[in-house]
Structure 1
Amino acid sequence: MAAPSQDLRTRLKTFGKCVCDGARLMIGQGDYGAYVAHIAKTHPDLPPMTEREFFRNRENARFGVGNKSGFRCC
């Protein structure tokens, strides 16, 4: 059996990234790379959060930390 073509490998890699990105979004974890690109484009005067700060920020938003109405799961 012949090895998959480069085009097929590229398409599978892209599909895998989409699946992983979708799974992260479903559990409330955004894409850090997309966040950094957004900050650089729209707020060039602000330093981006570190990856650890970004993760914590998304976790806090997901679970309603700091939300005056209490715990929020959805």
Structure 2
Amino acid sequence: MSSRLSRSVKFLREMARLMVGVPDYDNYVKHRTLNYPGEPVMSYEEFFRERQESRYNSRKCATRCC
């Protein structure tokens, strides 16, 4: 029961973080190491900056707002 509860808490925490726009660095690292072995992984600071720029400073306007 405790493992099910901890998985549920982890899922809810991840969902809440994604809802407010906080990127998940741990999932990024897992993805990079599994799918792109041998390639460099960004530091947390680089990852956070890249995610923020992608979200707020996008030069490409995908929503036809301009």
Q: Which runs of 5+ in 1 are unaligned?
A: 1-6, 70-74
Deviations 1:4-43 (A, max 9, x none): xxx2x22222111111100111122232111111111221
In structure 2, C-alpha distance between the alignment counterparts of 1:68 and 1:31, rounded to whole Å:
23
Number of residues of Structure 1 aligned to a counterpart in Structure 2: 61
2:30 is aligned with 1:43:
no
**C-alpha root-mean-square deviation of aligned residues, in Å?**
1.7
Name the larger-Rg structure. 1
Q: TM-score, normalised by structure 2?
A: 0.72
SS at the partner of 1:57?
Answer: helix
Q: Percent identity?
A: 38
Write the distance in 1 (CA, Å) between the matches of 2:35 and 2:49: 22
User: Which aligned segments of 4 or more residues in structure 1 are displaced greater than 6 angstroms?
Assistant: none
Runs of 5+ in structure 2 lacking a partner?
A: 62-66
The one-letter amino acid paired with 1:19 is L
User: Structure 1 length as normaliser, TM-score?
Assistant: 0.66
Find out whether 1:15 has 2:20 as its counterpart. no
Question: What residue number does 1:67 align with?
Answer: 59
